[in-house]
Amino acid sequence: MNFQQYDSFKQARLGLEKRGFVTSLDFRQGALGTADRTTTYHPTDLKLVEYHRFPRTDKSSSKELEGGKIIFAFETTDGKATFINDYEDRLDLRIVSFIDKVPIGISRPQLSY
């Protein structure tokens, strides 16, 4: 697993996007899938390479979407993707159970020649 450090949720999201994690995933019907519903991923289709937790603070506002979130970065069978979980509203044990089944790995850096 990689250990990038970010000071804010926004910084993490933008940093991951710059590194190719451009697909956003949603949790539905026991799996993660793309927003357009064309691709569904099960735990064996994913490798968790990073995650970043940002607790809500007094400085966070719901408009800024800064706190109370975990952003997960995955390598998928066909690219890279992120899943954002707003964990302070309520704990969804289905998501916890799903993430627990995803293998943990190390992200391979993209080489440019």
Residue 86, pLDDT score:
87
CA-nearest of 108, 112, 45, 38 to 78 is 45
Residue 113, pLDDT score:
46
Residue 75, pLDDT score:
96
Say how many domains are in the chain: 1
Residue 9, pLDDT score:
92
Question: Is 57 inside a domain boundary?
Answer: yes
C-alpha pair distances (Å), 36 with each of 33, 40, 43, 93: 8, 10, 19, 24
Question: Is 42 inside a domain boundary?
Answer: yes
Range of the domain at 17: 9-101
Question: Is 72 inside a domain boundary?
Answer: yes
Residue 92, pLDDT score:
84
Which residues are CB-contacts of 3 (< 8 A; sequence separation ≥ 6)?
50
Question: Is 13 inside a domain boundary?
Answer: yes
Residue 61, pLDDT score:
53
Decide if 23 contacts 34 (C-beta within 8 A): yes
Question: Is 94 inside a domain boundary?
Answer: yes
Digit-by-digit pLDDT tens for the chain (113 residues) are: 666 889 999 999 999 999 999 999 999 999 999 999 999 999 999 999 999 999 877 654 554 555 689 999 999 999 999 999 987 666 788 999 999 999 998 765 554 44
